[in-house]
Amino acid sequence: MSEATRGRRKVVIGIVTSDKMNKTRRVEVPRLVQHPRYGKYVRRRTICYVHDENNESHVGDTVKIMETRPLSKLKRWRLVEIVARATTQRVASNETLAQEPASSS
């Protein structure tokens, strides 16, 4: 089926918040919504579970995702591209930072 007959799929940009699952990422998509009574714009977020076939993205990366057919109970999005990498690297949980003992005065 061509893309013209099934319609265009939604493409959004978000930030990866979890990469603990194999081939799955949790992406947070921020949006602004106007409050119905006061008119002030309020920040809201949508959580999307994204299929990442090659486990390329990591926490903090900005990614572009596209809507797709249901892949599992929660996954309805797939990774299109990594727009920007995270600026800092995570420290592995089994690595401990060396701490100097406190000196007594």
Under DSSP, the state recorded for 51 is E
Per-residue pLDDT of the chain (105 residues; tens, 9 = 90+): 556 667 789 999 999 999 999 999 999 999 999 999 999 999 999 999 999 999 999 999 999 999 999 999 999 999 999 999 988 766 655 555 555 566 666
Q: Which of 66, 62, 97 is nearest to 83 (CA)?
A: 62
The predicted structure's pLDDT at residue 87: 87
Compute the distance between CA of residue 42 and CA of residue 40 in angstroms, rounded to an integer: 6
How big is the chain, counted in residues? 105
CA angle 14, 17, 20 (to 5 degrees): 130
Domain covering 10-84 in this structure, CATH number: 2.40.50.140
- Torsion sign across C-alpha atoms 33, 34, 35, 36: negative
- The reported pLDDT for the residue numbered 7 is 75
Query: pTM for this one?
Result: 0.75
Instruction: Give me the residue spans of the domains in the chain.
Output: 10-84
